[in-house]
Amino acid sequence: MSILILADHDDGQLAPATLNTVTAATQIGDDIHILVAGDASGEVAKSAAAIAGVSKVLTADDTTLAHGIAENVAPLILSMASDYSHLMAPATITGKNIMPRVAALLDVMQISDIIKVESPESFQRPIYAGNAIATVTSNEPVKVVTVRSTAFEPAAEGGSAVIEAAAASADAGLSSYVKSELSSSERPELTSAPIVISGGRGMQDGSNFAMLEKVADKLGAAVGASRAAVDAGFVPNDYQVGQTGKVVAPDLYVAVGISGAIQHLAGMKDSKVIVAINKDEEAPIFQVADFGLVADLFDAVPELETKLD
């Protein structure tokens, strides 16, 4: 089994989800290569080569590969596909954008968002917002697989893979990058943070998220939100935790003013410990919470902050 993993990165840093994908790959086979496609992504390649269990890092460096333009990255993966039994990527926006394009060009069905490796041909994946788990078997000649990072531990460092240059393919001329508007935060990244504190519609206003941020800063936590809070414009889209937002599984998840729609639960119910603070005693979030506090969040959250000193 030779496995190629598409690294997720921003040309400066390797996205942590890539490490979890390596762990999933080690459960399939032991000849694991990582493709770093990008522009001046040498540092990313070095980080990838240092992951334990990785034997080779292939780098394709070209301006046309910057920002993970799917129409340009997919043909590159396609040109390498014949050497591999599995093509994998984290189920991040980058992986979700590029891998189905690769699968279609190979005429194979992709297996999205796996949470367990049963065998090299068989995987578990959530369906219906995680309300059911399907075991899926593929007889395709090459398996195209995306990996839910929260379901696998991150791979350790300590590897020393060889780094080889791969030829970049030409610009497809279909899409071009214009600009990004990225949220900047000193807090940990949402999907890999050990503690997440999220706010919902009950926060009433974006400015009230400052209360959550104060608690987050004391706990070293990331701040998330429910879809309702994002739709209401309280916080940007990249805060959204849920079926179609980010999936998180921290050691501690604190849901504040979140009712607990199944679409939100899909994004956080695998957290180790769940705390819910909501003034509505009947809120469904309490059904998944290990510790529920029925209280007005505008009293409870500031009190929580002071009690953390």
Partner 1 sequence: MKVLVPVKRVIDYHVKVRVKADNTGVELANVKMAMNPFDEIAVEEALRLKEAGGADEVVAVSIGPSQNQETIRTALAMGADRGIHIESPHEIEPLAVAKLLKEVVAREEPGLVFVGKQAIDDDCNQTGQMLAALLGWAQGTFVSGIEIKGDSAAVIREVDGGLEHLEIRMPAVVTVDLRLNEPRYASLPNIMKAKKKPLDSISAADLGVDITPRLNITRVEEPPAREAGIKVSDVAELVDKLKNEAKVI
Using CB under 8 A, which residues numbered 227 to 286 contact partner 1? 227, 230-231, 236-238, 243-244, 246, 251-252, 262-263, 269, 272-275, 286
Residue of 171, 192, 144 lying closest to 5 (CA atoms): 144
Residue of 96, 221, 136 lying closest to 256 (CA atoms): 221
Q: Is 167 in the site for partner 1 (CB under 8 A)?
A: no
CA 205 to chain CA mean position, Å? 27
Q: How far is CA 188 from CA 87, 194, 250, in A?
A: 29, 8, 12
Whether residue 236 contacts residue 184, with contact meaning beta carbons closer than 8 Å, is answered with no
Which of 158, 281 has the CB closer to partner 1? 281
- Residues in 179-218 that interact with partner 1 by CB under 8 A: 179-183, 191, 195
- State in angstroms the smallest separation of the CB of 227 from partner 1: 7
Q: Is 174 in the site for partner 1 (CB under 8 A)?
A: yes
Q: Is 12 in the site for partner 1 (CB under 8 A)?
A: no
Task: Please tell me the distance from the alpha carbon of residue 118 to that of residue 75, in angstroms, as a whole number.
Answer: 29
Q: Is 13 in the site for partner 1 (CB under 8 A)?
A: no
Q: Is 289 in the site for partner 1 (CB under 8 A)?
A: yes
CA atoms within 13 A on the CB side of 291: 6
- State in angstroms the smallest separation of the CB of 162 from partner 1: 29
- State in angstroms the smallest separation of the CB of 59 from partner 1: 22
- Residues in 130-149 that interact with partner 1 by CB under 8 A: 130-140
Which of 128, 157 has the CB closer to partner 1? 128
Sign of the Cα pseudo-torsion (3, 67, 11, 113, in order): negative
- Residues in 93-122 that interact with partner 1 by CB under 8 A: 93-94, 96-105, 107-113, 122
Which of 158, 306 has the CB closer to partner 1? 306
CA 111 to chain CA mean position, Å? 16
User: What three-state secondary structure class fits 280?
Assistant: coil
